[in-house]
Amino acid sequence: MESLPGAAVDNHSRRRAAALLALLLAALCALSALGERAPAQEETELQRKIDELENVQSQQGGLESEIERQNAEINALIAREAAVREREAAVAEELSAAQSRLDEATAEVERERDNLASMRARLKRAKELLRETLVRIYKTGTPDALSMILETASWSDVLAQAEYLDRVQSYDAAVIARVDALAEEIAATVARLEAAREEIEADRDVIAEQRNELASARGALEGQHADLVAARAERRSSLNELQGRERELQKGIEPSAAPPGGATASLVDGQAIPPANAPLAVKSAIEAGNRIVGRPYVWGGGHGSFESSGYDCSGSVSYALHGGGWLSTPLDSTGLTTWGSPGAGSWVTVYGSSGHAYVVIAGLRLDTSGTVGGSGPSWSTEMRSSAGFVARHPDGY
């Protein structure tokens, strides 16, 4: 610091002296006020603060119990929603397959109808030809045996002409009979295919009704879910206010100490390797995360029961926390915003919001894409922005 010139030093000294004098006067006034206050009044004020703190903590306990109960209800609803969604997807596949069968049956019926129309046209033409032949024979007259003998040059010609006439008549009759039989056969096929198509259509309608019922059930569950989330949000807001008042009342009683920094895990072939000095609970949480890495993303997966064929974002986080012994019931992403203690931890930090959640354990992020049909849980060394997320951590970690 540079030295002050003479006049400035005098002014600075005078200001310091005035400030010290004012501070001394304030202290004397405070001591005088304390001396004048009656001991009973001090005890009453202290007791009031203690009573208020106990009341605030009691209200917090009630709200926390209610939020925990609502968390359990929401978790159960998510599990039911997931089951309905899974069934709905299966029924949608059945409906699609039934529609495909119906389309194929309809196309086959149309093809056979076209064949039937073609056969009926051929039958009509054959009958017309036969009718023309019969008319011609009627007009010219059927040659008798004597005329045929007299008009032919040889006996072999007589036989040939007679055989020809027989063949013509037999051929016309055979063509008509064959075409008629084919028309009847195709008509029977069309009737059979139409019956099959109607049966498939009925099955399709039954499946469609099942899908509509499942969609209605899912809508009702989603409505209950939304109502519970809204009610929990109100209680969480009240809890936040009480926690703020509690901090005000306890301000200055216990100094806050920053937790020690944890070591960083390593990532090998998609599996997290915990650091040697990591606490046992942290290692267990990492091992739990490793068990579900590679599972597909499934909406609601990991809720209702920790074990699932796939996991969503909050299901993945809940599974890892359960592995560390910090969670007994899965939580949704919003429920994780009030879990544990506020702020980032030294070893474990959960980031939650109303739409997504992920966890950072020993420097590695366990996360999902958060979209249906997207990637399931996986570890990553890259950190994502925590903007819009609430950070929480288990006590002591």
CATH of domain 257-393: 3.90.1720.10
Is residue 56 helix, strand or coil? helix
CATH of domain 82-238: 1.10.287
Where in the chain are the domains? 6-36, 82-238, 257-393
Q: pLDDT tens per residue, the chain (397 residues)?
A: 333 333 333 433 444 444 334 434 444 444 444 444 456 676 676 667 667 777 777 777 777 778 788 888 888 888 888 888 888 888 888 888 888 888 888 888 888 888 778 877 877 777 777 677 667 666 665 555 445 445 555 556 555 555 555 566 666 677 777 777 777 887 787 788 888 888 888 888 888 888 888 888 888 888 888 887 888 877 777 777 776 776 676 654 444 433 445 678 999 999 999 998 999 999 999 999 999 999 999 989 998 888 899 999 999 999 999 999 999 889 999 899 889 888 899 999 999 998 899 999 999 999 997 444 458 999 999 988 889 999 999 988 9
Give the residue from 361, 358, 347 showing the smallest Cα distance to 384. 358
CA distance 297 to 373: 6
Extract the tokens encoding 125.
Answer: 């033409």
What is this structure's pTM?
A: 0.57
Q: CB neighbours (10 Å) of residue 263?
A: 15
Give the residue from 288, 355, 353, 349 showing the smallest Cα distance to 322. 288
Distances in Å between the alpha carbon of 15 and those of 3, 20, 337?
17, 9, 51
209-242 per-residue burial string, b: 16 or more CB within 10 A, e: under 16 = ebbeebeeebeebeeebeebbeebbebbebbeeb
Per-residue model confidence (pLDDT) at position 138 = 60
Angle formed by the axes of helices 39-140 and 155-250, nearest 10°: 170
